Amino acid sequence: MILVILFRLSDGYVNTNDMKGLSTYYSQLLGDCQKVNNLYTLSPEVINNPAIYSLLSSKYHKADELGIKIHLEIFLNLNELNMKIYEFTRILGILMDNAIEAAYECEDKIINVEMRKDFKVNRQLLIIENTYNQKEVDIDKIFEKGYSSKTNNTGLGLWEVRQILKKSSNLNLFTTKNEIFFTQQLEIYP
The whole-number pLDDT of residue 29 equals: 62
Averaging pLDDT over each range in 3-12, 35-44, 78-87, 153-162, which range is the top one? 78-87
pLDDT of residue 156: 79
The one-character DSSP state at 79 is G
- For 74, 84, 105, 158, the CA distances from 167, given in Å and listed in that order, are 26, 12, 33, 15
* pLDDT value of position 14: 67
% of the chain at pLDDT higher than 70: 76
pLDDT in tens, 84-132: 999 999 999 999 999 999 999 999 999 999 999 999 999 999 999 999 9
Q: What is the pLDDT of residues 35-54, one digit of tens each?
A: 555 555 677 888 999 999 99
> Is the pLDDT confidence value at 34 over 70?
no
Cα–Cα dist 129/87, whole Å: 20
153 — pLDDT class (breaks 50, 70, 90): low
Asked whether 128 and 72 are in contact (CB, 8 A), the reply is no
**What is the structure's pLDDT at 143?**
83
pLDDT of residue 145: 80
Confidence band, pLDDT 50/70/90 cuts, at residue 17 = confident
Confidence (pLDDT) at 1? 46
3-state secondary structure of 3: helix
